[in-house]
Amino acid sequence: MLAALRAPGMPLAGRWEFPGGKVEPGESDQTALERELQEELDVGVAVGRRLAESTTAQGSVQIHLVAYQCAIRSGEPRPLQHAEIRWVSSGELDALAWAVADVPLLDAVRGECT
């Protein structure tokens, strides 16, 4: 699984998250994920099946996340907007300090790690 460390100056800096971002008006989840991963990691991806979905309250804001399985089609991931990226196994997931909104996704994606 690819994890990204939020950079200094970002909200929740120093916390890990699954790469991705906001869906813009008129975009599907899949199109938004393809765009965001190109912008954040400089990779082209094929978006696969949906793995999990969660909504987490952070103060007065509701954060809705949807995790998808993806395959890299072009490029090598590099952290364009994050401090670091890291491939992690299922056994390493719990060792990272995750952003609160990503925590509910961990169990659902754990089986996808090899």
Question: 82-93: per-residue pLDDT in tens?
Answer: 999 999 999 999
Question: 5-50: per-residue pLDDT in tens?
Answer: 999 998 899 999 999 999 999 999 999 999 999 999 999 999 999 9
Q: How far is CA 73 from CA 45, 70, 94, in A?
A: 5, 9, 28
CATH 3.40.50.2300 corresponds to the domain 2-110: no
pTM beyond cutoff 0.85:
yes
Closest by Cα among 39, 40, 15, 14 to 101: 15
Q: CA angle 25-29-33, nearest 5°?
A: 105
Cβ–Cβ contacts within 10 Å for residue 109, how many?
18
Query: For the chain, which residues make up each domain, given as ranges?
Result: 2-110
